Amino acid sequence: MIKLEGLSKKFGNTSVLNGIDMTIAQGEIVVIIGPSGTGKSTLLRCINFLEQPSGGEITVGNLKVDVCKATRKDILALRRATAFVFQNYALFANKTALDNIAERLIVVDRWPKEKAKKRAMEILQRIGMETKADAYPASLSGGQQQRVGIGRAMATGAEVILFDEPTSSLDPEWVDEVLSLMKQLAQERQTMLVVTHEMAFARDVADRVVFIDEGRIVEQGPPSELFSNPQDPRTRDFLKKILADQPTS
Amino acid sequence: MDILNVTYMVELVPILLRYLPLTLQMATLGMALALILACGLAVVRVLEIPVINRLTILFISFFRGTPLLVQLFLFYYGLPQLMSSMTSIDGVTATIMGLTMHFSAYMAESIRAAIVGVDRNQTEAALSIGMTNAQLMRRIILPQATRVAVPTLMNYFIDMIKSTSLAFTLGVTELMGATQKEAASSFLYLEAFIVVAIFYWVIVEMLSWVQHHLEHRLNKAYSR
Q: How would you classify the pairing of strands A82-85 and A63-66?
A: unpaired
Which of the four pLDDT bands, split at 50, 70 and 90, describes residue B4? confident
Inform me whether the pLDDT recorded for B157 exceeds 80.
yes
Contact A108, B128 (CB under 8 A): no
Calpha distance A247→A34 (Å, rounded): 16
pLDDT digits (tens, 9 = 90+) for A79-126: 999 999 999 999 999 999 999 999 999 999 999 999 999 999 999 999
Interface contact A157, partner B, CB < 8 A: no
C-beta separation of B95 from B74 below 8 A = no
Asked whether residue B99 carries a pLDDT value surpassing 90, the answer given is yes
Taking an 8 Å cut-off on Cβ atoms, the answer to whether A79 and B130 are in contact is yes
Q: Pick A90's closest partner by Cβ from B125, B147, B221.
A: B125
Contact indicator for B116, B43 with CB cutoff of 8 Å: no
Q: Where are the beta strands (DSSP E) in A95-142?
A: none
Residue B166's pLDDT band (cuts 50, 70, 90)? very high
3-class secondary-structure state, position A215: coil
Suggest the residue from B129, B135, B219 to mutate for an interface test with chain A (most A CBs closer than 10 A): B129
Strand A29-33 to A192-195 pairing: parallel
Domain count for chain A, please give it: 1
| Higher-scoring residue by pLDDT: B37, A37 | B37
- What is the amino acid identity at position A213? D
**From the centroid of its chain, how far is CA B175?**
17
Beta pairing class for A82-85 and A14-24: unpaired
Inter-residue contact A123 to A101 (CB < 8 Å)? yes
List the beta bridge partners of residue A193. Answer: A30, A162
Angle between helical axes of B91-117 and B142-163 (0-180°, round to 10): 150
Work out the pLDDT band at B86, boundaries 50, 70, 90: low
Q: What is the mean pLDDT of residues B136-159?
A: 92
CA gyration radius for chain B?
21
Q: Work out the average pLDDT over B24-49.
A: 93
- Boundaries of domain holding A82: 2-245
As a whole number of angstroms, the distance between CA B93 and CA B171 comes to: 12
Rg from Cα positions in chain A: 18
Q: What is the CATH number of the domain that holds B85?
A: 1.10.3720.10
Task: Please provide residue B172's backbone torsions phi and psi, each rounded to the nearest 5 degrees.
Answer: -85, 130
The yes-or-no verdict on residue B202 having pLDDT over 80 is yes
Please give, rounded to a whole number of angstroms, the shortest distance from the CA of A245 to a CA of chain B. 30
pLDDT tier at B224, thresholds 50, 70, 90: low
Q: Tell me which chain A residues have a C-beta less than 8 angstroms from the C-beta of B124.
A: 50, 84, 86, 90
Give bridge partners of residue A31 from the DSSP assignment: A194, A209
Is B120 near chain A, with CB under 8 Å? Answer: no
pLDDT digits (tens, 9 = 90+) for A12-61: 999 999 999 999 999 999 999 999 889 999 999 999 999 999 999 999 99
Write out the residue range of the structural domain in which residue B154 sits.
6-222
DSSP per-residue codes, A38-52 = SSHHHHHHHHTTSS-
Task: Report how far apart the first and last C-alpha atoms of chain A are (Å, whole number).
Answer: 31
When CB atoms are compared, the residue of B121, B132, B143 closest to A86 is B121
Residue A27, C-beta contacts closer than 8 angstroms, at least 6 positions apart: A189, A190, A191
- Is pLDDT at B1 greater than 70 in this prediction? no
Contact A208, A22 (CB under 8 A): no
> Alpha helices, DSSP H only, in B48-75?
52-65, 68-73
Alpha carbon distance A206, A194 (integer Å): 9
User: Model confidence over A165-209: pLDDT tens digits?
Assistant: 999 999 999 999 999 999 999 999 999 999 999 999 999 999 999
Contact between chains at A48 and B135 (C-beta distance less than 8 A): no
Q: What is the largest CA-CA distance in chain A?
A: 56
Is residue A135 within 8 Å of residue A96, measured between CB atoms? yes
Q: Do A90 and B147 touch (CB under 8 A)?
A: no
Q: What is the bridge-based pairing of β-strands A29-33 and A208-213? A: parallel
Helix (H) or strand (E) holding A75: helix A72-81
Number of domains composing chain B = 1
Instruction: Select from B140, B147, B224 the Cβ nearest to the Cβ of A92.
Output: B140
> If DSSP codes are grouped into helix, strand and coil, which group holds residue A23?
strand
Neighbours of B100 (CB within 10 A): 22
At what angle are helices B20-47 and B52-65 packed, to 10 degrees? 140
- Residue A82 sits in a domain whose CATH number is 3.40.50.300
Strand partners, A58: A4, A65
> What percent of chain B is modeled with pLDDT above 70?
97
The residue among B220 and B56 whose pLDDT is bigger is B56
Q: Are B48 and B177 in contact (CB under 8 A)?
A: no
- Per the prediction, chain B carries an average pLDDT of 92
Distance from CA of A78 to the nearest CA of B (A): 8
Q: Flag whether residue A84 sits within 8 Å of chain B, measured between CB atoms.
A: yes
Rounded to an integer, the average pLDDT of A143-168 is: 96
Written in H, E and C, the secondary structure of B142-183 is HHHHHHHHHHHHHHHHHHHHHHHHHHHHHCCCCHHHHHHHHH
pLDDT at A249 over 70: no
A208-219 tens-digit pLDDT: 999 999 999 999
Nearest residue of chain B to residue A104 (CA atoms): B129
Running DSSP on this structure, what letter comes out for residue A189? T
Which residues, in sequence order, are bridge partners of residue A82?
A160
In this prediction, residue B49 carries a pLDDT of: 86
A191 CB within 8 Å of a chain B CB: no
Neighbours of A111 (CB within 10 A): 17
Q: Answer whether residue B219 shows pLDDT above 90.
A: no
The mean-pLDDT minimum among A161-165, B43-47, B124-128 falls in B43-47
